[in-house]
Structure 1
Amino acid sequence: MYAFFVALRSTPKAYKNINYLFSKKTYTLLLTKPKMTFDEVYEEWSKEKFPTVSESNIKGYKASYKTCGILYNRVFKDLKLADLQQVIDTCGKNYPTLKKIKILFNQLYEFALKNDICNKDYSTFVEITQYKDLNPNKHTRTKFTKEEVAKVWTMKEDNTIRLSSCCSIMAHVSLNFLI
């Protein structure tokens, strides 16, 4: 345990020392809180969060963090909504990735508020809905019509057509998955 002394002025020349006991982690956070950067908050948060989540989630958080490069050296408590929104607006990522970045912001602000690193959670005001249609991985697939399915079933017994039809169907299905 570390002793943390706070001087309270009771008279103009007299000071009163009050001894508080804190854990090493709390003591370190208390001393550095006012000037903790985005990067430092992320590091402290990840030490707590990563042991409790899957490797897949950790990779997602790390990927989201990498998009926030313009915030790394900024003092966390001085960040405003415009700074967070700038990351979203300029990163060029698709909607699912933007959701992960916003989740990271939410969790960092929750950690920062809990540890008195900042006073307000700007992450709740970050807007990503205008990017909802931005998903380059989204594919539109054409389904088989009822007539095409019926045609396949009628060819079921014909051995001469079976091989060529199977190849044709497999090519059609494969192309639908590639598109």
Structure 2
Amino acid sequence: MASFQKYETKAGARWMYKYYGPIDPGTGKAKPSTKRGFKTKKEAQLHAAQTETDIHQGTFLTDKESTFEDVYLLWEKTNSPNWKPPTRRAVKSKFKKQLLPHFGKIKMKDITKKYCQEVVIKMAEKIKTVDNMKMYANQIFEFAIENDVIKTNLMKKVKIPKAEEQHYAPEEEERNFWEKHEVKKFLAIAAAECSFRDYVMFHTLIYRGPRKGEMLALGEQDIDYSQKHVALNKTLYWEDGKYYVLTSKTPASRRVLPADKKTLQLWKRLLTMQKKQQLADGRNGPIKFLFTREDGVTPLRLAYLNDLLEALIIKHNLHSVTVHGLRHTHASLQFEAGATIKEVQYILGHSDINMTMNVYTHVTKGVQEKGSNRFEDFMDKDDPITGSNVVVLGGGDIDTEDCE
């Protein structure tokens, strides 16, 4: 049980409390400790109550002995219940591969700003996501401050060095999307060489632009034929041989999109085929997954389409794109068809319009040419030289040579 005491400082009255920490495995006894600096007794009491809870639950961090890994494990235990399985797995992997090898066994109090800077420089030489690693390390330092392990976040002012290539003009990026004529050619190939299920998947990705996980999570109840729309509000995730259907990452990702007549017809035909298989297998109820394996029940693995698309591209010597590039393809064709940035943002489920603008700055040649022609037509209108409403001065021809 903690005891409380008031004391005086130059800044005024403060409160402290004394308590016994966790049992020391070496001595078998609890070590007495003190926490100071509280402005009111109530503030000290609240802090003491949390300290006693942490000691009881085995999550208490001692100021002097806690290592970076100790703080990370408590941080992960505290926050991971709020993460979805993909996030949980990704965070653990990043710490295991990048941060813990550098910081793990070092006591938080012994980590210096110089060492933090050296680690960031080393990571910058090997990985492109060093800013992401700094962000995670920063969270551990802040968490350590919250738990009274350290007083200062030494990672906050560490600088990320620029990669050498950032000093030079970037080379033109390989486009990760198809233009309209390439789409037509590919869909003809897919119709001729793929199963009907696989053809419908490629068609869906190109015509509706969902994320791969969103498409594979689609079921019969997500499609409204009377209203001619489809609901994208969940995503498929595989881990350790098991699949999970998760809610979409952000509210913006949960959206209802209009579905064109051709896509609705393809979905309906595929569902009819599945209903027949369901009846033959003695099953009933709505079709849970539109795209399944041969058993008609289990959804496809996420990598299946990657492998199939790559094989078709190599076989027919097509311009190389990824499965995610088919989503880029949908966006670029939407722009070419006249859609606005805001419309494409909603279709793609981006929470931030800057994401839409950043990812899709390189659109098809058709869009660029149309934009150029629109400007030229606008400028030529009523032009005394090239426009239709030509004004002839003095009855003579205008010599355009001096204008070139």
TM-score normalised by length of structure 1:
0.61
Residue 127 (structure 1) aligned with residue 159 (structure 2): yes
Residue 94 (structure 1) aligned with residue 127 (structure 2): yes
C-alpha separation in 1, matches of 2:139 and 2:76: 10
Partner in structure 2 of residue 106 of structure 1: 138
Partner in structure 2 of residue 4 of structure 1: 2
Residue 34 (structure 1) aligned with residue 64 (structure 2): yes
Partner in structure 1 of residue 83 of structure 2: 53
C-alpha separation in 1, matches of 2:131 and 2:6: 46
Deviation sequence 1:60-93 (CA, Å, 0-9, x none): 3223212121321111122122222222222343
Partner in structure 1 of residue 317 of structure 2: 171
The DSSP-based 3-state class of the residue aligned with 1:33 is coil
Q: Looking at both structures, which has the greater relative contact order when contacts are Cα pairs under 8 Å and sequence separation is at least 6?
A: 1
**Cα offset, 1:47, TM superposition:** 0.8
C-alpha separation in 2, matches of 1:143 and 1:71: 38
**Cα offset, 1:112, TM superposition:** 0.9
Aligned length: 145
Give the residue type in structure 1 aligned to 2:118.
Q
Residues 61 and 100 in structure 1, CA contact (< 8 A), matched pair in contact too: no
Residue 25 (structure 1) aligned with residue 58 (structure 2): no
Deviation sequence 1:20-67 (CA, Å, 0-9, x none): 653330676666122200110111111111111222222332232121
C-alpha separation in 2, matches of 1:31 and 1:25: 8
User: What RMSD over aligned residues (CA atoms) do the two structures have, in Å?
Assistant: 4.0
Residue 44 (structure 1) aligned with residue 74 (structure 2): yes
Residues 75 and 143 in structure 2, CA contact (< 8 A), matched pair in contact too: yes
C-alpha separation in 2, matches of 1:39 and 1:78: 13
TM-score normalised by length of structure 2:
0.30
C-alpha separation in 2, matches of 1:142 and 1:80: 44
Give the residue type in structure 2 aligned to 1:110.
E
From 50, 54, 73, the counterpart of 2:105: 73
5+ residue gaps, structure 1: 10-16, 157-166
C-alpha separation in 2, matches of 1:59 and 1:133: 31
Distance verdict in 2 for CA 1:109–1:143, change over 3 Å: closer
5+ residue gaps, structure 2: 8-16, 20-44, 167-171, 186-312, 323-404
Q: Larger helix proportion, structure 1 or 2?
A: 1
Indicate the percent of aligned positions where both proteins have the same amino acid.
21
